[in-house]
Amino acid sequence: MYKLLKNLGKKQLLYAFICVFFISINVYLELKIPDYMSQITILVQTEGSKMGDILREGGYMILCAFGSLIASFVVGYFAATVAAYFGKVTRKKIFAKVNSFGTEEIKEFSTSSLITRTTNDVTQVQMLIGMGLQAMIKAPIMAVWAIVKIMGKNLTWSLATLVAIIVLLITIAILMSLVFPKFKLVQKLTDNLNRITRENLTGIRVIRAFNAERYQQRKFEKANEELKNLQLFNQKTMGLLSPVMSLVMSGLSLSIYLIGAILINKANMLDKITLFGDMVVFSSYAMQVVMSFMMLIMIFVMYPRASVSAKRINEVLDTLEHIKDGNVEKGSEVGTVEFKNVSFKYPDAEEYMLENISFKANCGETVAFIGSTGSGKSTLINLVPRFYDVTEGEILVDGVNVKDYKLKSLNNIIGYVSQRAVLFRGSINYNVAYGDNGKGKPSLDKIKEAVKVAEGKEFVEKIEGTYDAMVAQSGTNLSGGQKQRLSIARAIARDPEIFIFLTLLVLLIIKQILF
């Protein structure tokens, strides 16, 4: 948790100190109110007291309450600002870190888990910071200050307050021991629920084609039921705190007044009024002490889950990327790809997928890889843009080992068309001109030319809006062939030195264009 707090800047730390300052003012004003209440009680019980004196003390009480309100507002504002900034910076760091991951790191976490960590986990820690800056700071200050105020008032009352606090602490310790291990499972079950939901949404066409709606529903219900049962256990267990705290507070008030009644009954007439005033003040301060522990309990309820979330966030941020950036920007050749004794096996595999592959593709040449399913065609091609690094040997692009290139420079050399066409929400222009090729955004004429070469002109110009027509997320409003053609156009518009195609459809289109 402490490691994540380093994401806060100097400005946010200043805001935190402002919170501490105004919380101290808030506590001071709140603890002054019982003093004025005691004075009013004594004045009411004393013969010859003037109404003006009572109104004056009441006015001071109102001013303290109003000042406390203003201080609480200031604390809430700055605490919310600090928490929101933390959430923004942490999400940004996670997103940037995930963008730097290679395929190996993505598979290690899974997509659904990374989504949960970027959203739900960050929210849990953010909520703890927002509440912590208020309750976690205010509670100890108020408890210590209130205890100092009541010290020496009466030993019996103090012992009653101590017993109430001990009961609360024992209750918290028992409940935390039961709930804390369960919180570790909540986020994993949330990951699983996100995974099933994501699968259902992305595979909706296949699910419907195979009449698998009921199967998916049962699968979701099972995951949902597991999460519900676990959350019910946590909430029911933590729900025991409320009646225990109500019992303790009511019991403490009753004890203070019972002890006070006994003391007042035994006291002489002169001491009765003083004891009555002390009892009222002590009761108020004792409630403040118990309320302080109640605020701490709120933090204890939130902390276990936030702690688990913080650990999950740090797992992402502390992950070392296997794909390291080089420092070369340009090679000595143009448009060449060479494999030299390349062997590769996946990180979690024992056997090699590729062994001792050597060849060279020169500028202007077309090299095709043909083989059965699972023979390693895609794996071999994906080594060029460094989705994985070779286990043995080396790959040269333009005469330079791909490991020595700056990743941005290597990507600018390559025009990549994946097996599964990936489009983004936006216009056709946006999708074709997507990314940064180091040469500036392609012009509209360049986009049109790329779409024409990819055999997409006919369907694009028939769509309402043509090149400004909107593409839905993942291109769900386009057919598979249309998405593939726009994916090809995107690679062509980059004007790269080397084209990488991982689809049979592309080969057919190129054959049609060339011959």
- pLDDT digit string, tens, across residues 293-342: 777 777 777 777 788 788 888 888 888 877 787 887 787 778 888 888 88
Say what the pLDDT of residue 473 is.
Answer: 78
Say what the pLDDT of residue 514 is.
Answer: 39
Which among 484, 336, 494 has a CA at the least distance from the CA of 411?
494
DSSP label at 339?
E
Sign of CA dihedral 70, 249, 161, 178: negative
- Identify whether the C-beta of residue 31 lies closer than 8 Å to the C-beta of residue 149: yes
Which CA distances in Å does 509 have to 107, 112, 456? 33, 35, 11
State pLDDT tens for residues 232-242. 888 888 777 77
Separation between Cα atoms, residue 403 and residue 52, nearest integer Å: 86
Say what the pLDDT of residue 270 is.
Answer: 64
Give CATH superfamily name and number for 337-514: P-loop containing nucleotide triphosphate hydrolases (3.40.50.300)
Q: What is the pTM of this model?
A: 0.70
Separation between Cα atoms, residue 452 and residue 493, nearest integer Å: 11
pLDDT at 455 over 70: yes
Hey, what's the torsion of the CAs at 124, 130, 133, 135, to 10 degrees?
Answer: -80
Separation between Cα atoms, residue 258 and residue 494, nearest integer Å: 84
| Amino acid at position 87, single letter | G
pLDDT at 468 over 80: yes
Neighbours of 188 (CB within 10 A): 15
Give the confidence band of 2 by pLDDT, cuts at 50, 70, 90: low
- Identify whether the C-beta of residue 384 lies closer than 8 Å to the C-beta of residue 402: yes
State pLDDT tens for residues 398-409. 888 888 888 888
Three-state DSSP class for residue 342: strand
- Give the mean pLDDT of 489-501: 83
Separation between Cα atoms, residue 444 and residue 512, nearest integer Å: 24
Give the confidence band of 1 by pLDDT, cuts at 50, 70, 90: low
Sign of CA dihedral 332, 336, 340, 343: positive
- Give the mean pLDDT of 442-449: 83
> Please, which residues have CB within 8 angstroms of residue 203's CB and are 6 or more apart in sequence?
none
User: Which H or E run includes 149?
Assistant: helix 137-150
Give the confidence band of 151 by pLDDT, cuts at 50, 70, 90: low
Task: Please report the DSSP string for 306-338 in residue order.
Answer: HHHHHHHHHHHHTPPPSS---SB---SSSS-EE
Separation between Cα atoms, residue 206 and residue 49, nearest integer Å: 86
Task: Please report the DSSP string for 12-77 in residue order.
Answer: HHHHHHHHHHHHHHHHHHHHHHHHHHHHHHHHHHSTT--HHHHHHHHHHHHHHHHHHHHHHHHHHH
The domain locations on the chain are 2-317, 337-514
Neighbours of 447 (CB within 10 A): 23
- Identify whether the C-beta of residue 302 lies closer than 8 Å to the C-beta of residue 127: yes
User: How big is the CA angle at 178 (ends 177 and 179), to the nearest 5 degrees?
Assistant: 100
The CATH number fitting domain 2-317, selected from 3.30.70.660, 1.20.1560.10, 3.40.50.2300, 1.20.120.450: 1.20.1560.10
